[in-house]
Amino acid sequence: MKWAVVLAGLALAATVGAAPKAAPTAFTGGDKDGRIRTQLAARESVVISSELNAKIARLPLKEGDSFKQGQALVSFDCTLFQAQLRKAEATNEAARKLLSVNQRLAELNSVGKLEVEQAEAKVKESAAEAAYMRTTVSKCAIGAPFSGRVAKRMASSAEFVTPGKPLLEIVDVSQLELQMIVPSKWLARVKPGTAFTVSVDELGLSYPAKVIRTGARIDPVSQSISITGQITGNHPDLLPGMSGWASFPTP
DSSP notation for 122-180:
HHHHHHHHHHHHHHHHHTTEEE-SSSEEEEEE---TT-EE-TT-EEEEEEE-SS-EEEE
Average pLDDT value for the chain? 86
The DSSP call for residue 113 is: H
- Averaged over 247-251, what is the pLDDT? 80
Give, in order, the Cα–Cα distances in Å from 55 to each of 160, 165, 174. 4, 12, 32
25-43+175-247 folds as Elongation Factor Tu (Ef-tu); domain 3 (2.40.30)
Comparison of pLDDT for 24 and 224, the residue scoring more? 224
pLDDT of residue 33: 61
> What are the pLDDT digits (tens) for 116-165?
999 999 999 999 999 999 999 999 999 999 999 999 999 999 999 999 99
Higher pLDDT, 26 or 116: 116
Per-residue pLDDT, averaged over 38-57, amounts to 94
Q: What is the pLDDT of residue 233?
A: 84
Give 45-77+140-171's CATH code, choosing from 3.40.30.10, 2.40.50.100, 1.10.760.10, 1.20.1420.20. Answer: 2.40.50.100
Average pLDDT over residues 86-101: 96
Query: Amino acid letter at 76?
Result: F
Query: Looking at residue 182, what is its pLDDT?
Result: 92
For domain 79-138, give the CATH number.
1.10.287.470
